[in-house]
Amino acid sequence: MNLEALKSIAKAMVAEGKGILAADESSPTIAKRFASIDVESTESNRQSYRQMLFTADGMADYISGVILYDETLRQSTDDGVPFPKLLTDLGVVPGIKVDMGAKPLAFHEGEKVTEGLDGLRDRLKEYYDLGARFTKWRAVIAIGDNIPSANCLDVNAHALARYAALSQEAGLVPIVEPEVLMDGSHTIERCEEVTAAALKQVFAALEAQGVALEGICLKPNMVISGADCPTQADSKQIAEATVRCLTSNVPAAVPGIVFLSGGQTEEQAATNLSEMNKIGPHPWELSFSYGRALQASALKAWSGDVDKLDAGKKAFLHRSRCASAARDGSYSEEMEAAGV
């Protein structure tokens, strides 16, 4: 493990004013997204859509890294340039989703554990050779009656830590993603409690596995009310609760925290991140690793029409600019109204 190289990559991933595009939707997930715009999920359509995002002029001004899916990592532009090379040449770090998905946790109804450790060392070597320089592994923690259980938190933290150690061994920066889901009617206070418990377990496991915290990025949920909670916390409450939770549970050695949008709208994800950065300074960079919150408008604008590629690129760049502004707390509703 070359720690200095890992630290350099991690810092580039959370560079000032920039964040990460999560374009690592699995085949079933991208099929659902395409179905929403009546587009068939063929390999050709998937390639065309991702190419639209990656070739948007000025994308590298706001995007520091892109998480790719296995298929996408192996694809090229219409001109034959491999996507990882295209991104690297732009100064954007290519990454790769390496987990095999969250599966039901035996004897724990309503809970899941993420699989994919078997054969991971060999896959990581191949991904590095293909141009990836960071990885992502997502664990999901549900809130409900008597869950999450201690065992659910333990097994997911253990898997995240083993994955992170293997990634660093292979020269890849691991994005560690323990996502507390927003599904449910729980309060923001309950979300904070569970998020804190998950983070404590994850960092204990990372320490046990010998993972260098200077060479990782953390991708957590924001601390928010459950989607069905009758009383929804506002952006200032979300920012205060999230920063409080992270300050208490995330070591300062971690270079950056890149939030997932987790089902929030594009505007909500930008507003909440902006409010957090207004609270600063923080010991780590507070950035973004958004999927839908960067892509929803672009997907709709494109709608699978080759004549609307420019419209899709424009929508993607607008969302990227808004997310970038949230990095220093300067995002505003006026940015949306002006479309700049």
| CATH code of the domain containing 246 | 3.20.20.70
Q: Is the peptide bond before 255 cis (omega within 30 degrees of 0)?
A: no
259/219 Cα distance (integer angstroms)? 5
Please state the separation of Cα 79 from the chain's center in Å. Answer: 29
* Mean predicted confidence (pLDDT) in 63-71: 98
Q: State the residue for tokens 């505007």.
A: 267
* Mean predicted confidence (pLDDT) in 221-249: 97
pLDDT in the model for residue 337: 78
pLDDT in the model for residue 231: 94
pLDDT band at 280 (very low <50, low <70, confident <90, very high): confident
pLDDT in the model for residue 339: 65
Q: CA distances (Å), 154 to each of 57, 103, 110, 199, in order? A: 44, 15, 16, 11
| pLDDT tens for each residue of 77-100 | 999 999 999 999 999 999 999 999
CB 108 within 8 A of CB 83: no
Question: Considering 18, 112, 219, 313, which one is annotated as catalytic?
Answer: 219
pLDDT band at 317 (very low <50, low <70, confident <90, very high): very high
* Mean predicted confidence (pLDDT) in 52-71: 98
* Mean predicted confidence (pLDDT) in 47-56: 98
219 catalytic? Reply is: yes
Question: Considering 25, 97, 136, 177, which one is annotated as catalytic?
Answer: 177
Q: What size, in residues, is the chain?
A: 340
177 catalytic? Reply is: yes
Domain with 120, as residue range(s), is 3-338
pLDDT in the model for residue 313: 97
pLDDT band at 297 (very low <50, low <70, confident <90, very high): very high
Q: Is the peptide bond before 148 cis (omega within 30 degrees of 0)?
A: yes
**At residue 340, does pLDDT exceed 60?**
no
**At residue 262, does pLDDT exceed 90?**
no
| pLDDT tens for each residue of 164-208 | 999 999 999 999 999 999 999 999 999 999 999 999 999 999 999
11/154 Cα distance (integer angstroms)? 29
**At residue 237, does pLDDT exceed 80?**
yes
DSSP 147: B
Q: Model's pTM, two decimal places?
A: 0.96
Go through 154-185 and write b for each residue having 16 or more CB atoms within 10 A of its CB, e for each that does not.
Answer: ebbbbbbbbbbbbbbebbbbbbbbbbbbbebe
pLDDT in the model for residue 156: 98
* Mean predicted confidence (pLDDT) in 303-313: 96
Percentage of the chain exceeding pLDDT 70:
99
pLDDT in the model for residue 1: 73
> Rounded to the nearest 5°, which phi and psi values hold at 141?
-120, 115
Which pair of structure tokens corresponds to residue 311?
């419209």
Compute the mean pLDDT over every residue in the chain, rounded to the nearest whole number: 96
Structural domain count of the chain = 1
pLDDT in the model for residue 276: 98
Cβ atoms within 10 Å of 83's Cβ, excluding its own:
23
pLDDT band at 333 (very low <50, low <70, confident <90, very high): confident
